[in-house]
Each structure stands twice: as structure tokens, then as C-alpha cells.
Chains A and B, each alone.
Chain A
Amino acid sequence: MSEVIKLKRGLDIRLAGRSETVYANVAPAEQYAIKPSDFKGLTPKMVAKVGDKVNAGDALFVDKMHPEVRFVSPVSGELIAVNRGERRVILEVVVKADGNTTTCDFGKEDIQSLSRDQIITKLLNSGAWTYFKQRPYNIVADPQLDFKSIFVSTFDTAPLAPDYDFVINGNEANFQAGLDVLSKIAPTFIGVQAESANKAFNGAKGVTITKFSGKHPSGCVGIQINNVQPINIGERVLTIGVQEVVAIGKMFTTGILDFGRIVVVCGSEIKKPAYIRTIVGAQLTNILKDNIASDNVRVISGDVLTGTQTATDGYLGYYDDQVSVIPEGNDYEFMGWAMPGFNKFSNHKTFLSWLTGNKSYKLDTNMHGERRAFVVSGELDEVLPMDIYPEFLFKAIMAQDIDKMIELGICEVVEEDIALCEFVCTSKIPLQKILRNGLNLMAVEVG
């Protein structure tokens, strides 16, 4: 048996609207979009034009710096729009599905007989390379680099996150095939929840298994890396999600890259939370139709801590396997700071809700206060199970002191790892944004 790493710090946000492990049927989406903004630091270069017919697996745009990194269409159909924002930044590349799903065949291969270069080339050609994210920076990986290791977290502890033990059902062999591919690129590590008895995860071969127990963010891959083999300056590590590993495994065994994605639709404003089968980049219209309980809601692609705000006709994010819908909190509360607070969720004990046990809360998007300077100390450390002093790191970033940032471990964190810090912050400081600024600054100055 592998060892269990017990993470004591963390916080489970008990959000209402969790889905049972059941599937619901929804009509397939008509439109799909790939959003360059889902890939940090990417400068896209269009290779398909509006009006072009594309197959699933045909490139829509490429990375300007690394043209071999292709971003492909998840469905067959017609490229109908390239929506641009300020300064002509590409926001969405929209494909209207033709309903046939003609896919490119990349050919069956025997994984064991392929070299590392052959594997990377195949991943690049199929567009599956973009499933990997590279740390530091959490960007699409540069295929020419060497990677120290690849990490996969097989459980997600974020609020209302999908249960991968359930999602993996029926795809165990593909998952293992995917891990075989990964191991050819770099030594592969997977993090498994201590309570999980899933055979695909616990019995994975050719990889190093580490078991974790603890609250959120123990399921965040960054936390797992830090506790297994922390990233040092100059090192590069790849991370990838469970469903992406399955898709890669399937592509090497069948030749076809499956863009199917199991997504959990959840949140207190969803009438019937459930798992659904859809496709990467799907428009949410059909998924959310007749399923939202009230008018004033926020639709989030992803979880409530790190997801992207979108609309009921928005698109599923590239890496997301969760859609959360929660109430918008744009109303006032009379003397909110003075109430006993039995119904308020807080990691701090100044609200009496900590006496009321493990009930679920219907949280809205209100900030519950105004931004201040750092005052309360130690609160960020309480929810970050890493050997890092978050407050000092953030102060170094605010001061744009790159040497200090590196010394304090900026290479080891990305936004999702410290999202809980932002949640608990009494002073309402936008920590994820600050971290991203720091990472961007580093990418420019250090590379």
C-alpha cells in the first residue's frame, strides 16, 4: 500500500445543490466554442476562417509562439463566428455543429512501441497536447521542453465538484492507457483520495500513487505536487485532468480523439442537479433550459472558487467539467456585520453558524464587505496545506519583487491552489488576480 498524506489545513465549503451520482439526458448543444482566454498567456493565431467546414480534430487556431500547438474543433460543422473584444482580442471561436460528428482518425498505435517524440507529435497533431498544463504559470505546455514529472489528481475537493470515482465508470482501461502514454513523456504521479476504493485509480500501473486525505484543497493537483515533489525554480511539471487522460488513452487505442466530457451541473439555483454527457466547449443553453430556479443568478463554468462567469447561453470552458449556478448577491443587508449570523457560512468563528453543525449553505456572490489592507493574520495559512507563507508571497508580488517571489515559492502555486485563501480573506483582497499578475510578470522577466 502506498502512504497516506494527511493534510490538516483546508476548508470544505458546504454549498447547497450537490448532484447525486446520476446522469440526466439533455439535447446536444448546437454551437461549440473554444475560448483562447481559457489558456493563460496564449496568443492565438487563427488558421481557419469564418465559413470554413471543419471536422472534429481540425485546427481552429494555433499558438503564435509555437505553431505546432493546435487548438482543434471539438465537433464537425461550420466555423460561424470569431468573436472579438477590446483591441481585437479573440474571445470565442464558435463552431455550429452539423450533427454528423465527422472525426479525424489519428490511427491506432501500440503505446509501448512508440518513442517519446512520436507520442508528443501525435498529441500535438490531434490537439490533445492542449490538455496538459505546465507549471509554473499554468499555461499550455511548450512541447520542446523537458518535464520533470506529470501529475494527475484523481479527485476534486472543490465545492460541488464531480466525483471521478463515478465519472471514470466504464473508462478504466482508457484511463490506464492514458497513464501509459503519460509515463512515456515523464515520470507520472497520481494522487488518490484515501477513502476511494476505485480500482482504476488504486490499481493504476506504471505510475507512482500517493494517497491524500483532508479537506479542500487536498484534491488540487498543486497541493499534491507540493507534498510529493515540490517544484523548484527552473523545473517544469505537467498536470492533466482525469477525463483528459481518458481521452488521450482512447485516442491511442482507437485512433479517434473523443471530445466528450462528463459535466456535473450543480448549485443551489439548479432545479435538478445531475451529471450530463456533453462535449468540450458546448453552449450551455440546452443544459440549463428549464433547469434554473430563479432569475437573478450567476452561471459559472467551473466551480465557485476558480470558475469563469458566463451566461445561460455561454460556453463550457475548455478544462471545466462542472457548471455551477448560484444566486447573484447584488442586494444590501441591514447591519450585516452586527447580526448573530446563524445562517452565514464562514471559516471564522465570529458568526454563530459554527455552532449549527454540518448544514449546507446557499451562498450568493456578495462580497460581504469592502476591501481593506491585510489585518487578520494566519487566516490564509489555515487553508493552504503547503510549506509556503501565502501572505508574504502576496506582499512580494504586490511589491513586484521577483527575487522574493521566487524565494517564497511562487513557482509552486497557481490560482486554484490559493482560491480558498481568497475565499477566507477578511480584507477581501483579490488574491487570485494578484497571483496571476505575479506569474505574468515572472513569465516576462524570467521566462
Chain B
Amino acid sequence: MKALRKYIDSVKPNFEEGGKFSWLRSTFGGFETFLFTPNEVNKGGVHVRDAVDLKRTIIVVVLALLPALLFGMYNTGYQHFRMHGILDAVTFGDIFWYGFVQVFPIIVVSYVVGLSIEFAVAQMRGHEINEGFLATGMLIPLVMPADVPLWIVAVATAFAVIFGKEVFGGTGMNLWNPALIARAFLFFAYPSKMSGDSVWYGNQVNVADGFSGATALSVANQTGSTGFDFMDQVYGFIPGSIGETSVIAIALGALLMLCTGVASWKTMFSVFIGGALTAYLFNQFGAESNNMAQLCWCDHLVLGGFCFGAVFMATDPVTSPRTESGKYIYGFLIGAMAIIIRVLNPGYPEGMMLAILLLNTFAPLIDNIIVGRNISRRKNRVKQIAK
């Protein structure tokens, strides 16, 4: 490693102010700090600091996404071969390889497009490169259908990074979760490619009879039953976006994020409570004719993007409330709102994305109320003394 460090030190002057590549300063800095934790020391203020930094935090999120990603690859292949009715004839390797070939290019496109924009913007502003996109770049592919055209991934990622994040000032300043912005952009701009009710696997040629490729939620919307075994829904052997189907894989990620304290259990927990309670109320009091209202609350929680959203999207600290008590309210409302959209909006059977984006918008307001109570406590103290 010393040789590498020596090499970096020898080329570093070229990238510093006055050097011939000084316009690439941010890019160089990004790679340098990726390889080596900087030698910067504390000046003024505290003399020692916690070992954690944002890179470490973000990398835990990326690690937590891996089970969902790997399962998503497998499931992509699984759904493909199931659709063609030749599931019994192929090996595990065939299935995974098919999924890998489908999914990997989406990840590459998401990272290349997103990071290029991040680098360019950092360069323009003379900032350091932020690591926030490492997580976003992984989240975007996981909320896409497996057969999404790559150019759409590129357009959505670019839109999300530029208008979801950079215009607000970059990592830490954005109002909405950039990965969901990417998905929402696709949903509204290319509804024919991504309507939320059907997902394509493979190129839809030679489809076995009677197989539509519809997601479980969409089927349930029309028929009142998901058409899948409950345990299959938990394991994730159902059609859906790449990362969202397996509750088990998502739970592994959730476990990692909760053990490391990277995600807030308060948000996660209250999303599930809010969702379960609302779905249960619809079960009890919803119209008989509304299929979604009659869908069991446990089905609601394991279907579609509910788990994925609760674990990976709702817990994004930047777009959540910053107060601890606010997180309960925020989570609960996301869960409730997701189910309400599913049940009461016949046009769109999935409500998680819109629920989270809506509550992202309201997060500052929730904080404002919580902090406002602290402020009035302080004012009352003065009044008390005045009496």
C-alpha cells in the first residue's frame, strides 16, 4: 500500500491548484479519499473524533441492499423461466445467470450516469465528491422492473440526480428521496413502460398460455386474491421490481441496518404499524366490492414495494424528519397512506412510492411541530417565572 500511497503523493501536485489537471481536482479527491482516509487532523474544537464518517455509513446501506439485489437477480431468472414454463428444466446457475445478465447492466447504467453527474457538479462547484449516490445508485435499479430499457434508466437517473438532489444543493439538502424521484419520473413520464400493474420478464415472446406477467398487487386489485401462495410472497418468488419482492432478503438488509444503527427502527417499525392498522381497518369496514380493501392486511404488508420502501426508502435520514418523535408520526403516516392509496385509487395498485414522497414533503412540517413544542416549553418557563 505504501507504493500506492507514494504514487498518489507523486501525482497529487498535478491536481492541486495551479497543476495542469487542477480542473479535475474534485474527481482526484474523490478517488484519493476512497482509497485512503485523509490525513487531515482536527483543528480547534474537539481534538479526537468518532471513527465514523459518511462513507462508512453509506457503505453499510449498500451492503444491506446486497441480499435484495442477489435475490432480485435470481428472481428475474426464475420469473422468466416460469413464464416460459420450463422452470423444471433449468439449473440454479441458469436462473441466476439469466437474472444477472438482465440486472447488471441496469446497475452499471445507474452508477455511470449518476456518478458522472455527481462528479461534474462537484467539479463545477469546486466541492468534494459526496458519497450519497453510492446508495442511491444501488436503490434505483432495485425499484425498476427487470426488463426496463436501459435508456430509460439513464434518463430517470439523470433526472433524479439533477432535479432530485443537485438543484437543492447535493447530498443532505434534498427534499425527496432521489431513488424514488427516479421511479416517480418513470411512472409519470413513461406510464406505458411502467404502469405499476404489470412487469415484463424476458422479451415476452413465446409466453406460456394465460401468463400475463402481472404483479401480485395488480392481480389482487382485479380479482381480490393475489393468486400466489403466501409463503411465496414472503420468499419473493413473485413478479415485481427487482429488489422489492423478497421479504426475507429485505429483512436481512433491515437487520444489518438496525444492528449498525444506520437506519431508524422508529421509522421502520411505525411504517409497518401504520400499514397493518390501516389495512386491518379496511378489512373490517371497507366496501365489500373493493378488492383491495378486502385483501388481508398481512398480504398488504408483504406485497409490492411495502417492505422495500419501509426498510430502505422511508429510513433515508435526509428526507425523514430530523426529530426522533417525528419519526414515529412520519412512519405511521407512510404506512397508512400507502394502504389508503392502494385501496382507494383503482388506477394504481401500488401506493408506497407516492406515500413516501408525500411524507418526504411533510417531514419538515412534522419537525416544525415537534420543535415548536420545545420552543413553547421554553417560552412557558419564562411566563411561569414572570407570574
B54 touches A426 (CB 8 A): yes
B59 touches A337 (CB 8 A): yes
Interface residues of A in 253-293 (CB under 8 A from B): none
Q: Is B53 positioned at the interface, with any CB of A under 8 Å from its CB? A: yes
Tell me, in angstroms, the Cα distance from A304 to B56 when the chains sit together. Answer: 24
Which residues does chain B contribute within 8 Å of A330, judged by CB atoms?
Answer: 39-41
At the interface with chain A, which of B88-96, B233-241, B377-385?
A: B377-385
Q: Which of A373, A387, A424, A427 contacts B173 (CB 8 A)?
A: A373
Given contacts A332-B39, A334-B36, A337-B37, contact A368 B47 (CB under 8 A): no
Which A residue sits closest to B52, measured CB to CB?
A: A348
B1 touches A375 (CB 8 A): no
A366 touches B40 (CB 8 A): yes
B53 touches A370 (CB 8 A): yes
Q: Is B323 positioned at the interface, with any CB of A under 8 Å from its CB? A: yes
Which B residue sits closest to A307, measured CB to CB?
A: B47
B47 touches A365 (CB 8 A): yes
The interface size of chain A toward B, counting residues with CB under 8 Å, comes to 72
Smallest CB separation, A102 vs chain B (Å): 37
A309 touches B45 (CB 8 A): no
Smallest CB separation, A440 vs chain B (Å): 14
Q: Is A409 positioned at the interface, with any CB of B under 8 Å from its CB? A: yes
B45 touches A341 (CB 8 A): no
Tell me, in angstroms, the Cα distance from A333 to B367 when the chains sit together. Answer: 38
Which residues does chain A contribute within 8 Å of B170, judged by CB atoms?
Answer: 373
B41 touches A300 (CB 8 A): no
Q: Is B13 positioned at the interface, with any CB of A under 8 Å from its CB? A: no
Interface residues of A in 398-430 (CB under 8 A from B): 407-409, 419, 422-428, 430
B36 touches A333 (CB 8 A): yes
At the interface with chain B, which of A130-138, A176-184, A208-216, A376-384?
A: A376-384
Smallest CB separation, A222 vs chain B (Å): 15
Q: Is A251 positioned at the interface, with any CB of B under 8 Å from its CB? A: no
Q: Is B212 positioned at the interface, with any CB of A under 8 Å from its CB? A: no
B317 touches A365 (CB 8 A): no
Q: Could you give, for residues 108-152 of chain B, a 1 whenever the CB lies within 8 Å of some chain A CB and a 0 otherwise?
A: 000000000000000000001010100000000000000000000
Tell me, in angstroms, the Cα distance from A427 to B131 when the chains sit together. Answer: 12
B317 touches A375 (CB 8 A): yes
Which A residue sits closest to B1, measured CB to CB?
A: A334
Tell me, in angstroms, the Cα distance from A227 to B41 when the chains sit together. Answer: 34
B44 touches A305 (CB 8 A): no
B39 touches A348 (CB 8 A): no
Which residues does chain A contribute within 8 Å of B5, judged by CB atoms?
Answer: 332, 334
Given contacts A350-B261, A387-B374, A408-B374, contact A426 B45 (CB under 8 A): no
Q: Which of B1, B42, B60, B381 contacts A230 (CB 8 A)?
A: B381
A336 touches B36 (CB 8 A): yes
Given contacts A328-B41, A336-B36, A370-B128, contact A346 B46 (CB under 8 A): no
Q: A335-B35, A365-B41, A422-B45 are in contact. List 8 more A-B contacts (CB 8 A).
A: A337-B59, A349-B260, A350-B57, A367-B42, A368-B52, A378-B317, A387-B374, A433-B45
Q: List 9 A-B contacts (CB under 8 A).
A: A305-B47, A346-B52, A349-B261, A350-B57, A368-B52, A407-B378, A422-B45, A423-B50, A428-B53
Spell out B's residues near A (CB within 8 Å). 1, 4-5, 33-57, 59-60, 128, 130, 132, 169-173, 259-262, 264, 317-318, 320-324, 367, 371, 374-375, 377-379, 381-382, 385
